[in-house]
Copies of this chain bind each other. A is one copy, B any other.
């Protein structure tokens, strides 16, 4: 099948290189090339809907509007166009920003041209495309997103050296139990609960249940 694409890239050399290498593939038609985001946008606006590119190859580092800003704008005006970000740097921050902005893929500039072609084809058929190192970063993000919560809790406990018993008490505070109720639940005197709470406050440098709850939840101890 034939895929219409556009290229947005400020550097002459890279742009020309891309064109010649992609031109080699018969099923990929480069319908326009722009050297910055604004030119790209005005070209897009001048096209009739049925002549729009399906995929835009977008450089991330550009003078003026960055590829991320351009992606945001293009996606809001032309949501059906898939954007394939290309960059030389594996900057984690930028990767997430691009995804946020609505990019459908992320390639590194030293990926072989076949990768580009594969990626373009996958985007055109409704998938996403990621360089393997980018995929790795994404996966570790997803992985840590969960694990961090678990690991973090123990780290916080160690950092503030709360004892196991104090964690019990802290959880009770988060659950909004009175000293009385906590005592009953843990089979200790409410006086003891009070003592524990005082010690917890000292360790966490807080002076109220409200801030203890805030601490516990934000540190993942709840």
Contacts and interface: CB of A to CB of B under 8 A. Distances in A.
B138 A139 contact: yes
B142 A141 contact: yes
B104 A142 contact: no
A96 B142 contact: yes
Contacts of A139: 99, 104, 128, 130, 138
A54 to B, nearest CB: 15
Contacts of A122: 132
Contact of A174 (B131, B209, B214): B214
A107 to B, nearest CB: 12
A96 B133 CA distance: 18
A190 B212 CA distance: 23
A146 B100 contact: yes
B143 A133 contact: no
Chain A contact residues, majority secondary structure: helix
A114 to B, nearest CB: 10
Interface string A41-52: 000000000000
How many copies of this chain does one complex carry?
Answer: 2
Contact of A173 (B125, B133, B176, B210): B210
A163 interface: no
A193 to B, nearest CB: 14
Contacts of A145: 145
B138 A127 contact: no
B129 A132 contact: yes
B129 A210 contact: no
A68 B70 CA distance: 40
Given A141-B142, A142-B96, A214-B213, A176 B132 contact: no
Contacts of A128: 132-133, 135-136, 138-139
A222 interface: yes
19 contacts: A99-B142, A100-B147, A127-B131, A127-B133, A127-B135, A128-B132, A128-B133, A129-B135, A130-B130, A130-B135, A138-B138, A145-B145, A176-B210, A176-B214, A208-B209, A209-B209, A210-B213, A213-B213, A217-B218
